[in-house]
Amino acid sequence: MTINRRQFILGSSQVALAAWLLPACTTYQTEQWLVSTCNDPQGQSMAAAINSQGQIVNTVKLPARGHDSLALPHKPGHALVFARRPDRFAVEVDFINGQINHNIESQRDSHFYGHGVFSKNGEYLYTTENLYDRKQGIIVVRDAQTYQVLDRFSSGGIGPHELALMPDGKTLVVANGGIETHPEQPRKKLNLDTMQPNLAYIDTTTGKVLASYAPPDNQLSIRHLTVREDGAVFTGAQYQGPKSNMHPLVFSHQGEDTLQSFSADTSQLYKMQQYTSSLVVKDSLLCVSCPRGSHLSFWDTNTHQFIEKQNFSDASGLALSKGKILASSGKGYLKKLDESAPLKGIANIHTLPIMFDNHMTMIEGVV
């Protein structure tokens, strides 16, 4: 820890808050932009912003493959982009001018896991990272303006991946994938037989792990999640065991003693190819992308039952835009679900000359 978090609050919170405010005289029109990491046809890793007409606003080259992105509060047209594990970079991107405004590196003993979230007041950035020599997952707290590290605390497990802020504004929920990694063996999974994934809740004011919940099989790596306004958490897993084993991959949690699995028949579980990616929830409808299975899967959050799937080649990212579910593809497709009947069809928006990665983020863009 570089600076005690409470000292920082006392010393600079008023200055930090004032710095976030836009000048009162600034006037401009805004619209929602979609941000995603991607590759161009030549394989260059990039981050792209796309406007509401399905046009690419700008792209920025990344030093290596990115993963998720995060809208910047009170900075229209800007987003943070995080490296895919086990890389050590994150960047603040100005998509209005097509440039990187700030480079962020993880500390020497850690690497990023591809995700981050801001505190409710916008003063702090929380990122999932890996203390690889200690084999320990951590949450790193940074000043949201300068990106200076302020604090670090345990994620409650190994391999923390996606995280979110709960509706109470003070609790983080973290998907600890359970998989040990090391930068010297970039994509190798080092502990598949002994991995212990969990879903953990953490108090941001103390860094204390409040509770954690393990999936029914220790090789179900919990990787991604989404949180509904009422505090219900939905997670997607990636199974690391034998290919012949079929396990539930979608779970929920809202105060129960255990994770609640969603049911699907063996045929659907097989089609998911033991792999889920992005999740979005709209009312009682949960959508989960299945890249290896090349489809979007739909689930009823009331009955915890699979509803149906829609074929979508190399399905990747999901996002909500003004209540509409958007879906991207590693083939360059960007689509929206039919607003009046989302389970009956998908309306094509555009085919773009980029290959989308696994996540999308909506930011406020400038017209």
Average pLDDT over residues 209-226: 97
Give this prediction's pTM.
Answer: 0.90
The residue ranges of every structural domain in the chain are 1-8+57-174
CATH number of 1-8+57-174: 2.130.10.10
Whether the per-residue pLDDT at 108 is higher than 60: the answer is yes
**Backbone CA torsion sign across 272, 327, 100, 9:** negative
The confidence score (pLDDT) of residue 124 equals: 97
Across the range 296-322, mean pLDDT stands at 95
Over range 172-198, report the average pLDDT. 85
The owner of tokens 């997952």 is 137
Backbone angles phi, psi at 225, to 5 degrees: -155, 165
The average confidence (pLDDT) of the chain is: 89
- Cis bond upstream, residue 86 (ω within 30): yes
CA 327 to chain CA mean position, Å: 14
> Looking at this protein, which amino acid is placed at residue 367?
V
End-to-end Cα, the chain, rounded Å: 41
How far apart (Å, rounded) are the C-alpha atoms in residues 46 and 81? Answer: 10
Burial 258-278 (b: 16+ CB within 10 A, else e): ebbbbebeeebbebbbbbbbb
Q: Give the model's pLDDT for residue 339.
A: 59
C-beta separation of 354 from 34 below 8 A? no
pLDDT in tens, 128-154: 999 988 889 999 999 999 999 999 999
- The DSSP string of 151-207 is EEEE-SSSSEEEEEE-TTSSEEEEEE-----BTTBTT--S-TTT---EEEEEETTT-
Nearest Cα residue to 16 out of 1, 5, 25, 31: 5
Backbone angles phi, psi at 209, to 5 degrees: -75, 115
| pLDDT tens digits along 272-281 | 999 999 999 9
> What are the backbone angles phi and psi of residue 7, rounded to the nearest 5°?
-60, -40
Instruction: Please provide residue 276's backbone torsions phi and psi, each rounded to the nearest 5 degrees.
Output: -125, 160
What span, in angstroms and rounded, lies between the C-alpha atoms of 206 and 117?
17
Residue 9 has pLDDT above 60, yes or no: no
Q: What are phi and psi of 270, to 5 degrees?
A: -65, -40
